[in-house]
Structure 1
Amino acid sequence: MKLLIVYYSMYGHVYNLVKAAAEGAKSVNNTEVLLRQVPETLSPEVLQKMGATQTREAQAAVPTCTVDELGEADAIIFGTPTRFGNMCGQMRQFLDATGQLWQKGSLVGKVGSVITCSNTQHGGQESTILTFHVTLLHHGMVIVGLPYSFQGQMITDQVSGCSPYGASTIAGGDAKRLPSENELAGARYQGMHVANIAMKLTA
């Protein structure tokens, strides 16, 4: 079973989450996990002004995803930061190029799942994932979230992302807060959960 993880991460927060999701998916026997990032749409000058040059360079070894790779996967986990309660422009532009996959029904019946990040605790994590689901449903994908069997969703003694819709983290206003262990655990659980369901669907 081939599981593709496609993401965009400006400051590394989503990157850390999807790496954890990959760990979880790899724990499921006979699962091949591929990590890909969507093409950058911002110039190096803009990234430098935004203070994102170093973190973007750290991800340079991750291959850029092609649209065809989506159709070759049995399951796809998407990772995107929030932009005003929606996916980021880089991810939107990439998905807007999937019209041929839609015409062929290439993603129908495949598992789709979403991971996200926002600056603030109520910065649109849930709306980002839910509005992302709309695109996946138009492609006929089977939506998988993060069930409450991940008990980390029930904690109240610390600030934490993660919801039934998917794993998430909070970057903080200065983008210096790294994903907590609970948030990383949620991403690992989601990766494992998606892989298990995809394995059943492909059996």
Structure 2
Amino acid sequence: MSGSEPATSSQPNEADSTHADGAASDGRAVSPARPADGHAPSPSTRADATPAKPLKVFLIFYSTYGHILKLAETYKEALEKEEGVEVAIYQVSEVMPAAALAELQAPPKSAHPVIDPHALDQADAFVFGFPTWFGMMPASMQAFFDATGFLWQRGALHGKPASLFTSNMVQSGGQETSIMTAVTQLAHHGMIFVPAGYAAGGVMFGVDEAKGGSPWGGGTLAGDNRRDPSEAELAAVRAQAWHFAAVARNLAA
């Protein structure tokens, strides 16, 4: 199996001199400028304007060993710090037999509620997190998407933005392919995939430690399932969250 997840649960200074195309004077790419207050910019409104409707985000995850759970809760906390964003967190139903989970020595599931696909059209935007199993999303997450066919029939999710993150055991273990293949689910629904890009460029360019994540989405390395997400991996997830909040709000405006 190419990917499991961790048991539970700053950026280095950028070059001061950059070119207009976002590259540093030494040719390195740099992460987008972060507002001074540490949050994504909000759409401008007049003082007498009616307050904008909050952006409702559903964060939906599947976690076996707790690594994705930790990333999901970190992503949620970062989103909730953004003005005008409401986040509901859910897990998908487990489809793996209990005997198989016992063989994997998987811990009990978290207390987060299980998502009902019939509730999806209540959300304005989505974040999906899942581990890498054999280079793609696990069966439980696939079964969840398979259960959304009735929404596809009426285009209920068309035009809604979505963000993805993942985990696996080792570097080059399939994090990018897992997200790339998951984008097909979004495409058939007409959803808008919002990649992480290099929002966490200062973290991603560092080579002093092994870490998960890519321009496709945040990630963590689980190792033998006893490695917790590193602070660098969590920082990248937080950066992805504020970037996604800004894009999703602009699309909803």
Give me the TM-score of the superposition, normalised by structure 2. Answer: 0.76
Amino acid at match of 2:77: E
Aligned to 1:10: 64
Q: 1:113 aligns with which of 152, 155, 163?
A: 163
What 5-or-longer segments of structure 2 have no aligned partner?
A: 1-54
Secondary structure of 2:132's partner? strand
Deviation for aligned residue 1:194: 1.4
Once residues 71 and 149 of structure 1 are traced to their aligned partners in structure 2, the CA distance between those partners, rounded to angstroms, is 28
Deviation for aligned residue 1:195: 1.6
Deviation for aligned residue 1:192: 1.8
Once residues 76 and 69 of structure 1 are traced to their aligned partners in structure 2, the CA distance between those partners, rounded to angstroms, is 12
The yes-or-no answer on 1:51 pairing with 2:51 is no
Secondary structure of 2:94's partner? coil
Indicate the structure (1 or 2) with the bigger Cα radius of gyration. Answer: 2
Aligned to 1:73: 123
Secondary structure of 1:10's partner? coil
The answer on whether the counterparts of 1:75 and 1:195 sit within 8 Å (CA) in structure 2 is: no
The answer on whether the counterparts of 1:26 and 1:192 sit within 8 Å (CA) in structure 2 is: no
Aligned to 2:145: 95
Deviation for aligned residue 1:132: 0.4
More helix by share: 1
Q: 2:218 aligns with which of 155, 164, 167?
A: 167
How many residues are treated as equivalent by the alignment?
A: 198
Deviation for aligned residue 1:197: 1.3
The answer on whether the counterparts of 1:37 and 1:62 sit within 8 Å (CA) in structure 2 is: yes
The yes-or-no answer on 1:200 pairing with 2:247 is no
Aligned to 1:19: 73
Deviation for aligned residue 1:2: 0.4
What 5-or-longer segments of structure 1 have no aligned partner?
A: none
Deviations 1:157-184, CA, capped at 9 Å, x for gaps: 1101111100001101x21111101111
Report which stretch shifted further, 130-139 or 41-50: 41-50
Once residues 84 and 76 of structure 1 are traced to their aligned partners in structure 2, the CA distance between those partners, rounded to angstroms, is 24
Secondary structure of 2:250's partner? helix
Amino acid at match of 2:198: Y
1:177-188 matches, cutoff 5 A: 177-188=227-238
Deviation for aligned residue 1:198: 1.2
Report which stretch shifted further, 39-48 or 183-192: 39-48
Secondary structure of 1:41's partner? coil
Secondary structure of 2:129's partner? strand
Once residues 128 and 149 of structure 1 are traced to their aligned partners in structure 2, the CA distance between those partners, rounded to angstroms, is 20
Aligned to 2:207: 156
Once residues 158 and 85 of structure 1 are traced to their aligned partners in structure 2, the CA distance between those partners, rounded to angstroms, is 23
Deviation for aligned residue 1:190: 1.4
RMSD between superposed Cα atoms in Å: 1.1
Amino acid at match of 1:170: L
Deviation for aligned residue 1:43: 3.3
